[in-house]
A and B are shown apart, each in its own frame.
Chain A
């Protein structure tokens, strides 16, 4: 299996000289299974660059898994070139949206409206299929299996584990570790904490033993208290999760749009320094646009 990062930024694309080393595109990760099947995790602006490399492979049959429908994870979809070319099949997988009561089929439709985009969904030339996932039910894609886990974000967010011939990668999408909404003095505190611990343990089990954990590490621990409830993790929470789950490699992603390259490296180094690794702990990396990991 091979993994390539096409977008590592959170919230909004942020190109410019001060983000040039880590990249300015929003979330998009390419996963190639052993038999060459293309799995795309999220369709942020990075998907446009990815799609330009796909022209040679057409006609192609590709699977896009959307962690959640916030802009920074779907905005590139209308620019995913394969959707305009006849003969291609693009299968889009994602969660059921409990509030709107619709499945992932709305992800393209909401964007391809007359006032916002010149092409209507009906005019796309490729065959587009939508698959609204049942959480936890594995989906077979080529020689790989993709399993979803419900995570914690202001909108339903699915983390995905891709397994292929004994190798595996887990991507959280956007995720804030569950926390207790009660104060220790409140009667509901203990019960709520039990549920929080249960959810967290469940996530650790879902990630258990992966080769690569890619996780939302938007904030520093100093920034976090004022951003609680916004749905993002910290460098420290990602490192701790990777260690607990026994991941081999941990990749911190979803960089803040205003965190320029030097600051990003500094924040990352500080987080590493806070928690000295024990033998056997995973290698921790900063996600960088263009970075590849071969498994």
Chain B
């Protein structure tokens, strides 16, 4: 499946270490932390809305020295384990790297990508609560939704030229973006995202979900079902945009669990709050 050379794999792996976070969170982290009495929960709210910050914090915290009893998968858990001030200073050091530019030469709109990630995360969490109660931790669904397309942000930042071609191919031929990525780059964003998640010692179920979210042959899990359907709903309803346009012939994933799009969207109720929260943060 993968023809990504070891050289490119290595390059992406090390490049991400220096990958800047989103401008919104960098600015908010700087603002919040200027006040020594800032509310811990406000800080958590900002960090967990930024895929880069979240990725980096989970990566550092799951490193071997702390031999935590279980892998850490949420920002709140990181705060409990490492303490608020340590997480705050980690966030500040990530903020110091700089900010992701909104437009890169690939033409991928990073703000709209952020909106897609945030809404997918929030919808996945809600779907988990309503459709998979007791089968998974809803906060895992949030994290998996937030990070499922992280590979695209990496492509846009570090393989901009090839990613530009993949986006164009997908658009012109009306094929799914991950297929176009395979043709042009030799690996898709799902694989690259999971490769990084593996390198950073994320828990297995999260790695598998990122890796297989487009692979219909993979063994389905409750987590995967929730993330996939959330991704579909957000694309269908045009919440943000991640280079992979909605195709009218797409069938709902896991129909035995969800029934139809109409049914799920109806059951989820008003998504206005999710969208407006995400829009406020993503500033689009």
Contacts and interface: CB of A to CB of B under 8 A. Distances in A.
A99 B86 contact: yes
Given A191-B139, A192-B76, A181 B65 contact: no
Contacts of A195: 76-77, 80
B210 to A, nearest CB: 23
Interface stretch (A84-92, A130-138, A261-269): A130-138
Given A155-B86, A191-B76, A134 B81 contact: no
A9 interface: no
Question: For the complex, would chain A's binding face be called helix, strand, loop or mixed by DSSP majority?
Answer: loop
Q: How large is the interface on B (under 10, 10 to 19, 20 to 34, 35 or more residues)?
A: 20 to 34
Contacts of B68: 135
A55 B63 CA distance: 40
Interface stretch (A16-24, A121-129, A146-154, A215-223): A146-154
B57 to A, nearest CB: 9
Contacts of A98: 60-61, 63, 65-66, 82, 86, 90
Contacts of B27: none
B185 to A, nearest CB: 31
Q: How large is the interface on A (under 10, 10 to 19, 20 to 34, 35 or more residues)?
A: 20 to 34
B67 interface: yes
Contacts of A135: 65-68
Contacts of A137: 67
B16 to A, nearest CB: 16
A41 B162 CA distance: 56
Nearest to A132: B65
Contacts of A133: 65
Given A135-B65, A150-B66, A181-B44, A156 B82 contact: yes
A134 B64 contact: yes
Nearest to B80: A195
A96 B65 contact: yes
B177 to A, nearest CB: 33
Q: Which of A132, A181, A195 has the most CB of B within 10 A?
A: A181
B14 interface: no
B85 A154 contact: yes
A287 to B, nearest CB: 24
Interface in B52-89: 60-61, 63-69, 76-77, 79-86, 89
A115 B77 CA distance: 40
A229 B90 CA distance: 17
B83 A231 contact: yes
Nearest to B57: A98
B80 A154 contact: no
Contact of A99 (B39, B41, B90): B90
A57 interface: no
Contact of A229 (B40, B67, B93, B139): B40
Interface string A142-168: 000000001011111100000000000
Contacts of A182: 41
Contacts of B39: 181
B66 A96 contact: yes
B81 to A, nearest CB: 7
A181 B86 contact: no
B86 to A, nearest CB: 6
A29 interface: no
Contacts of B85: 154-155, 229, 231
A99 B93 contact: yes
A283 interface: no
Contacts of B63: 96, 98
A186 B83 CA distance: 20
A154 B76 contact: no
Contacts of A155: 83, 85-86
B59 to A, nearest CB: 11
A45 to B, nearest CB: 24
Contacts of A154: 83-86
Nearest to A99: B89
15 contacts: A98-B60, A98-B82, A134-B66, A136-B67, A153-B83, A156-B82, A156-B83, A181-B40, A181-B84, A186-B41, A191-B139, A192-B80, A195-B80, A199-B81, A229-B85
3 closest pairs, A vs B, by CB?
Answer: A154-B85, A96-B65, A181-B40
Interface of B: 39-41, 44, 60-61, 63-69, 76-77, 79-86, 89-90, 93, 139
Interface of A: 95-96, 98-99, 132-137, 150, 152-157, 178, 181-182, 186, 188, 191-192, 195-196, 199, 202, 229, 231
Given A155-B85, A199-B81, 15 more contacts: A96-B66, A98-B82, A98-B86, A133-B65, A154-B84, A155-B83, A155-B86, A156-B82, A156-B86, A181-B40, A182-B41, A188-B41, A195-B76, A195-B80, A199-B80
